[in-house]
Structure 1
Amino acid sequence: MPKRRRFLLVCIALSALAGLFVLSKTHADKPKPPDTILFEPNIVFGKGGDDDLKLDLARPKKIDGKAPALVVIHGGGWISGDRSSLHPLLFGFANAGVVCISIQYRLAPQAKFPAQIEDVKCAVRWLRANADQYQIDPNRIGAIGMSAGAHLAILLAVTPDQKSFEGTGGHPTHSSQICTAVGIAGPYDLTLGYASSVKQSAQEGPAVRSMLESFLSGNPDQVPDQYRDASPINYVRKDKPLPPLQLLHGEADTLVLVEQADVMAKKLREAGAMVDYLRISDATHGTFGKDQDQHLLRIFQFLRTHLKLPGA
């Protein structure tokens, strides 16, 4: 497939995705996979407690050698969301030569942290366990997430050595380490997020506190260790190698405040980590602003580089 067409397919897919990561129910209309890819829904990749965890997989029909893989993580404040909402992203990146999976993870309040990151890590291990079957390069696995999904994608990237997050979902002999991650409109310091919620509107402030309390079993005064352990910013250190990360956040985001990405990018830079931070002046929690196509293309270019797609 010509490189220019691959760019366009991905940008179209990302554009279709742009409005889907708000904290709401997913759209009822679901796109059909194009003829150029293979789509396998409802694959069981592990166990979340006693329940099967499932993913949807899209991959190119023809793979020369080994392909990179991408874990796509939906948002929803850790309490809602649906992996099928991200099918446009799967189809676009599969057309660009990536094996993509959109994953289910356990939701709060029924499942408390760290259940969610355990499920995400299990999905990465599943990719490595099935690398031969799907022609995946186990050294080129990345993640992308929106909102709560961004939190989980970045937490995944900065905790390769956190054994307490591995869980018992399956494939224990394989690593959950990834080579890159993208976080869009995500929270990275949850204690700060709770404290700053008092500055938000009468609708959004209580909603933020409710989601965090459901996710972490209380407020920061009640469970300070949970807030500390669930915050990606607390795993960034100068003596700890981290993969290249990309953060995108809107200055007009009134749900997850842009200070979240500001403090995370600052901490990463101080630690000497590679971070591509795009602070978008007119973007909200559910949009990329007037230059949407440019920002979406930047996501694709970042992943193309760090997943080592052809032409990178």
Structure 2
Amino acid sequence: MPPLPRRSLLAMLPALLTACSATDLLNATVPDDTYVRTEGLAYGPDPRQRVDVYQPTPPVRNAPLVVFFYGGSWSSGDRADYRFVGEALASQGIVTVVADYRLSPQVRYPVFIEDSARAVRWAHDRAAQYGASPSRVFVMGHSAGAYNAAMIALDSRWLAAEGMRPAQLAGWIGLAGPYDFLPIIDRKTQIAFDWPHTPADSQPLSHASNLSPPALLLAPTNDSVVSPQRSTVAMAHKLKASGVRVESELFGSVSHVTLVAALASVLRSRAPVLARVTAFVQSTR
């Protein structure tokens, strides 16, 4: 689909900022000449174990590769909704893998982390096939997806099950991630984590150590869904105290949802999310 005229985009901005189905409108703004997409590749036997790969156009030799996990309280989401993320990163020369994973109530913690680790293994093994370097693989996520990325990067159990180590990651990127959220109040999250039987070591903050790969942590200053102080700020402080390279920033111009939406060209002026992610990824060689 060709991108919508700018006048139409401006007319849609109020909906983009408030509607639950805003991803449809964001994806309608995506150009089709900045990437090549390969859809529905299986990293496991379950129908939810699928990825879409976005390769930059023109191709980039030994490009970095980002595996992106979306949010949705571990109970909703679809990789097709995040074409705007794949395009944004591919337009900056980054091979991007947008991954589905199994969701609650079909599964409970830690299955969605296991799926995410399996998707990372799949991407790592096929990086060269898509023009990327296996030594430049990053994990990235928004909200619940940032939790998945954090657990993969910080808690070695999940990649170890796939024959990998967090040290093999070039870095991890969290957008408005929940890294410390016990006790659980939200009903959907309670189901996903089998509350009140949720283990204490399910919290990413408890795994922050000097073994973490470099991290970029971004969040809204005022987030009504995930506490930026308890999660993003606390995680940045703990990693820095452990000697880990960390970049972090809180933005006053975006919400929990529009933080990730700011990757799309039509909302990019609201916060430099794409610029920060690109600079972080490109600084790791």
**Structure 2-normalised TM-score?**
0.80
- 1:135-154 maps to which residues of 2 (within 5 A)? 135-154=131-150
Task: Tell me, yes or no, if structure 1 residue 301 matches structure 2 residue 279.
Answer: yes
Structure 2 counterpart SS, 1:46: coil
The root-mean-square deviation of aligned C-alpha atoms, in Å, is: 2.8
Task: Tell me, yes or no, if structure 1 residue 110 matches structure 2 residue 106.
Answer: yes
CA 1:23/1:175 → structure 2, altered by over 3 Å: closer, same or farther? farther
CA 1:25/1:46 → structure 2, altered by over 3 Å: closer, same or farther? farther
Q: Post-superposition shift, 1:138?
A: 0.6
Q: Post-superposition shift, 1:142?
A: 0.6
- The separation in 2 between residues aligned to 1:69 and 1:258, in whole angstroms, is 27
- 1:171-186 maps to which residues of 2 (within 5 A)? 172-173=162-163, 177-186=168-177
Q: Which moved more, 1:61-70 or 1:115-124?
A: 61-70
**Matched-pair contact (CA < 8 Å) for 1:26–1:81:** no
- The separation in 2 between residues aligned to 1:236 and 1:77, in whole angstroms, is 22
- 1:44-123 maps to which residues of 2 (within 5 A)? 44-48=42-46, 51=47, 53-63=49-59, 65-123=61-119
Q: How many residues align?
A: 260
Task: Tell me, yes or no, if structure 1 residue 284 matches structure 2 residue 255.
Answer: yes
Q: Post-superposition shift, 1:60?
A: 2.3
CA 1:35/1:25 → structure 2, altered by over 3 Å: closer, same or farther? closer
Deviations 1:161-205 (A, max 9, x none): 215x655xxxx455664211111111001216x3xxxxxxxxxxx
CA 1:244/1:81 → structure 2, altered by over 3 Å: closer, same or farther? same
Corresponding residue of 1:250: 220
Structure 1 counterpart SS, 2:279: helix
Q: Post-superposition shift, 1:241?
A: 2.1
Which of 186, 190, 195 aligns to 2:181? It is 190
Code of the aligned partner of 1:180: G
Task: Tell me, yes or no, if structure 1 residue 37 matches structure 2 residue 8.
Answer: no
Code of the aligned partner of 2:194: S
**Structure 1-normalised TM-score?**
0.74
- The separation in 1 between residues aligned to 2:251 and 2:24, in whole angstroms, is 29
- The separation in 1 between residues aligned to 2:41 and 2:242, in whole angstroms, is 38
Corresponding residue of 2:245: 274
- The separation in 2 between residues aligned to 1:281 and 1:38, in whole angstroms, is 34
- The separation in 2 between residues aligned to 1:262 and 1:214, in whole angstroms, is 27
CA 1:295/1:134 → structure 2, altered by over 3 Å: closer, same or farther? closer
Structure 2 counterpart SS, 1:91: helix
Task: Tell me, yes or no, if structure 1 residue 27 matches structure 2 residue 27.
Answer: no
- The separation in 1 between residues aligned to 2:201 and 2:251, in whole angstroms, is 28
**Matched-pair contact (CA < 8 Å) for 2:67–2:123:** no
Structure 1 residues not aligned, in runs of 5+: 1-15, 195-207
Percent pairwise identity: 27
Structure 2 residues not aligned, in runs of 5+: 1-12
- The separation in 2 between residues aligned to 1:118 and 1:39, in whole angstroms, is 25
CA 1:33/1:175 → structure 2, altered by over 3 Å: closer, same or farther? farther
Q: Post-superposition shift, 1:147?
A: 0.8
